[in-house]
């Protein structure tokens, strides 16, 4: 079996945002070596195959996005036997690997003993990881993602060791606790502490919005492998820029004219794969992120924010794709 090349930039899973549609588009832009799906929640039953393929339709494409980027499917749950049983079924569908979620901060998940709540008991992490590792073929990568802790980071090293001892081959660390949620800063120095006590590759995650953030994160954490999430949604060229910086090269970034056709492709996939009631909202959601970087996205968002009819959005995009590029002054007026 041919081994997957060592990744440098991974695309994070983000429930309700970084789903298969945005994974498809962002990996077409480039600069992403591997993705992780949003979590598949495991409770007390063996899920049918259609649940796995609905959340990770890349399973129909050899576990890769349209652009050929590998996707690891993520499981979330706390019962070792159920996690193992479902991991075995998932492995039979051919993902690029299986990832385990020990970091989700959502209250509904934590109330039921999943996600970041498991960081209160390192022993439970070991039991789940080791059960999954035993249940899937030896060639199938098993990785995990954790936060620094639940209410504080006092057991971060124990948790990381438990995950590594359970047989995970890689660990992503979101450098905040559950209590810290997504509030800056991220405590990258604690990732360096974790790297010192585990013998598996560690990936740094949290508050990487720019090339400068990535450079500093690498320096502080000691990690060459980074996972980016919201930063890539705001700036789809961030992965390419980070990789260029790792090589000591400059990268001009992705321009709006080159991105707009991909926005249109995103809309096409949304319209063909998602429920009509949620289609317009998904486009506006992404434009809302993009407008932090692109003034043209701000203009687009303002034009479309009250429109929910897909046909009217089709017309707007068709006109935008064929319109001459506006001047900066026109953009300021339209925004």
Q: Per-residue pLDDT for 332 more than 50?
A: no
Q: What is the CATH number of the domain that holds 267?
A: 1.20.225
What average pLDDT does range 264-292 have in this prediction? 96
End-to-end distance of the chain based on CA atoms, in angstroms?
A: 52
pLDDT of res. 324: 61
Q: Specify whether 99 is located in the same domain as 28.
A: yes
User: Mean pLDDT lowest for which of 37-41, 44-48, 102-106, 226-230?
Assistant: 102-106
Q: Specify whether 103 is located in the same domain as 24.
A: yes
pLDDT tens for residues 187-227? 999 999 999 999 999 999 999 999 999 999 999 999 999 99
pLDDT of res. 108: 67
What average pLDDT does range 34-42 have in this prediction? 97
Within-domain flag for 1: no
- Which tokens sit at 58? 């890349």
What average pLDDT does range 153-170 have in this prediction? 98
Q: Specify whether 211 is located in the same domain as 87.
A: yes
Greatest alpha-carbon pair distance for the chain in Å reads 61
Q: Specify whether 183 is located in the same domain as 286.
A: no
Q: Which residues, other chains included, contact 64 with Cβ-Cβ below 8 Å and sequence gap of 6+?
A: 58, 70, 71, 96
What average pLDDT does range 78-94 have in this prediction? 98
Q: Specify whether 220 is located in the same domain as 273.
A: no
Q: Per-residue pLDDT for 6 more than 50?
A: no
- Does residue 175 contact residue 206 with C-beta atoms inside 8 Å? yes
Q: Specify whether 54 is located in the same domain as 86.
A: yes
28 or 324, which is more confident? 28
Catalytic residues: 104
Q: Specify whether 306 is located in the same domain as 220.
A: no
Q: Specify whether 228 is located in the same domain as 279.
A: no
When the pLDDT of each residue in the chain is averaged and rounded to a whole number, the result is: 92
Within-domain flag for 21: yes
Q: Specify whether 263 is located in the same domain as 135.
A: no
Q: Specify whether 174 is located in the same domain as 321.
A: no
Within-domain flag for 251: no
Q: Specify whether 242 is located in the same domain as 260.
A: no
Q: Per-residue pLDDT for 334 more than 50?
A: no
Decide which of 213, 228, 246 is a domain's last residue: 246
Q: Per-residue pLDDT for 138 more than 50?
A: yes
Residue 107: pLDDT band with limits 50, 70, 90? low
Q: What is the CATH number of the domain that holds 124?
A: 3.20.20.70
Residue 7: pLDDT band with limits 50, 70, 90? low
pLDDT tens for residues 290-312? 999 999 999 999 999 999 999 99
Decide which of 177, 211, 246 is a domain's last residue: 246
| % of residues, the chain, pLDDT over 90 | 87
Decide which of 246, 275, 299 is a domain's last residue: 246
Range of the domain at 45: 9-246
Q: How many domains does the chain have?
A: 2
pLDDT tens for residues 223-251? 999 999 999 999 999 999 999 999 999 88
Q: pTM, whole model, 2 decimals?
A: 0.92
Within-domain flag for 37: yes
Within-domain flag for 222: yes
Q: Specify whether 171 is located in the same domain as 280.
A: no
What average pLDDT does range 47-62 have in this prediction? 98
Within-domain flag for 305: yes
């Amino acid at each position: 079996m041919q081994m997957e090349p060592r990744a440098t930039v991974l695309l994070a899973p983000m429930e309700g945002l970084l789903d298969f549609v945005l994974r498809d588009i962002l990996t077409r832009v480039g600069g992403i070596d591997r993705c992780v799906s949003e979590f598949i929640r495991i409770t007390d039953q063996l899920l049918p195959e259609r649940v796995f393929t609905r959340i990770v339709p890349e399973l129909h494409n050899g576990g890769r996005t349209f652009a050929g980027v590998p996707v690891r499917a993520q499981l979330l749950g706390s019962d070792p036997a159920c996690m193992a049983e479902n991991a075995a079924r998932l492995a039979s569908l051919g993902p690029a690997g299986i990832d385990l979620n020990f970091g989700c901060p959502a209250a509904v998940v934590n109330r039921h003993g999943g996600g970041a709540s498991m960081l209160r008991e390192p022993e439970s992490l070991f039991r789940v990881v080791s059960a999954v590792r035993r249940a899937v073929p030896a060639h199938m990568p098993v990785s995990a993602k954790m936060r620094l802790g639940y209410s504080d980071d006092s057991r971060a090293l124990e948790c990381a060791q438990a995950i590594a001892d359970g047989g995970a081959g890689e660990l992503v660390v979101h450098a905040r606790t559950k209590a810290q949620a997504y509030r800056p800063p991220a405590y990258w120095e604690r990732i360096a502490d974790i790297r010192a006590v585990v013998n598996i590759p560690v990936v740094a995650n949290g508050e990487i919005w720019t090339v400068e953030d990535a450079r500093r994160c690498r320096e502080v954490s000691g990690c060459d492998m980074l996972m980016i999430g919201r930063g890539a949604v705001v700036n789809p060229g961030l992965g390419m820029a980070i990789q260029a910086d790792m090589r000591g090269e400059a990268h001009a970034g992705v321009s709006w004219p080159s991105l707009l056709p991909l926005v249109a492709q995103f809309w096409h996939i949304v319209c063909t794969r998602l429920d009509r009631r949620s289609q317009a909202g998904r486009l506006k959601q992404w434009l809302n992120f993009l407008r932090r970087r692109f003034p043209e996205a701000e203009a687009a968002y303002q034009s479309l924010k009250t429109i929910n009819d897909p046909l009217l959005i089709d017309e707007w995009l068709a006109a935008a794709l064929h319109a001459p590029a506006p001047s900066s002054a026109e953009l300021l007026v339209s925004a």
